[in-house]
Amino acid sequence: MEKTYTDGVCGEIVETNKNGFIVKTADTSVLVAVVQAKGGKVMNTDAYMRGHSVEKGTVLR
C-alpha cells in the first residue's frame, strides 16, 4: 500500500530514502529517482544526495 502525504505544499520534499525523494503534488506524491542539476549531468538521486543536501521540507521550484 502506498503511503499518503496530506501535509505540506505542492513541490515540497516530504520524505527522503535510498530510492530517492518523494515530492508532494496537488493530489498525490511522486518519487524522484533521477535528477540533473543546472549545468550538471543526469544522475540517480542516491548519488546526488551523497554530495548535496536534500532535506525534508525543501520546496522545489
- pLDDT score of 1 more than 70: no
Residue 61: the pLDDT is 83
The distance of Cα 22 from the centroid of its chain, to the nearest Å, equals 4
Q: Determine phi and psi for 10, rounding to 5 degrees.
A: -60, 135
CB 15 within 8 Å of CB 55: no
pLDDT in tens, 4-20: 888 889 999 999 998 99
Global pTM exceeds 0.85? no
pLDDT in tens, 26-47: 989 999 999 999 999 999 999 9
Residue 8: the pLDDT is 87
